[in-house]
């Protein structure tokens, strides 16, 4: 199963249906580490930690996911929205946007913002 993404995701779904959040957490982490290019496994692992109200673990998983999928605008956007929802400081949010730009990911379209608004300018 370690290399079978579909089977791994089915296992996660089964754990979720059974309400076994700790097994779901463990299996999602295992799947994310064994198949690091699978966006779905990262999203599930992050969602489990959010459900368990573990913001430091959520940040850690976002960092790991962005290392594995640096060009995935969805993860950048979700991370940015998570930080904003957690009361993220403007400098932290700006750093995330800048890091995304450094790797070549534009968040303007993903966040439905004009280019000036992402840079902090008034429109």
Tell me the per-residue pLDDT of 32-53, one tens digit each, with 9 for 90 and over: 999 999 999 999 999 999 999 9
Sign of CA dihedral 4, 26, 21, 74: negative
- Scanning the structure block, which residue is given the tokens 């982490």? 29
What whole-number distance in Å separates Cα of residue 102 and Cα of residue 60?
20
What residue ranges of the chain are covered by domains with CATH 1.25.40? 1-69
Per residue in 62-73, pLDDT tens? Answer: 999 999 999 999
The CATH number corresponding to 1-69 among 1.25.40, 1.10.10, 1.10.3120, 1.10.260 equals 1.25.40
Mean pLDDT of 90-107: 88
At 3 the pLDDT is 74
Please check the confidence at residue 119 and state whether its pLDDT lies above 80.
no
**Burial, 15: exposed, middle or buried (Cβ in 10 Å; 0-12, 13-18, 19+)?**
buried
Q: Please indicate, yes or no, whether the overall pTM of this predicted structure exceeds 0.85.
A: no
Mean pLDDT of 78-86: 91
């Amino acid at each position: 199963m370690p290399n079978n993404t579909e089977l791994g995701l089915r296992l996660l779904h089964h754990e979720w249906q059974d309400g076994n959040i700790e097994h779901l957490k463990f299996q999602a982490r295992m799947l994310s580490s064994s198949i690091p290019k699978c966006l779905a496994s990262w999203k599930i692992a992050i969602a489990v930690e959010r459900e368990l109200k573990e913001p430091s673990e959520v940040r850690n998983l976002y960092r790991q996911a962005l290392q594995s999928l640096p060009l995935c605008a969805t993860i950048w956007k979700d991370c940015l929205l998570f930080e904003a929802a957690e009361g993220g400081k403007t400098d932290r949010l700006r750093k995330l946007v800048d890091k995304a730009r450094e790797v070549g990911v534009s968040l303007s379209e993903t966040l439905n913002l004009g280019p000036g608004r992402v840079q902090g300018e008034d429109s």
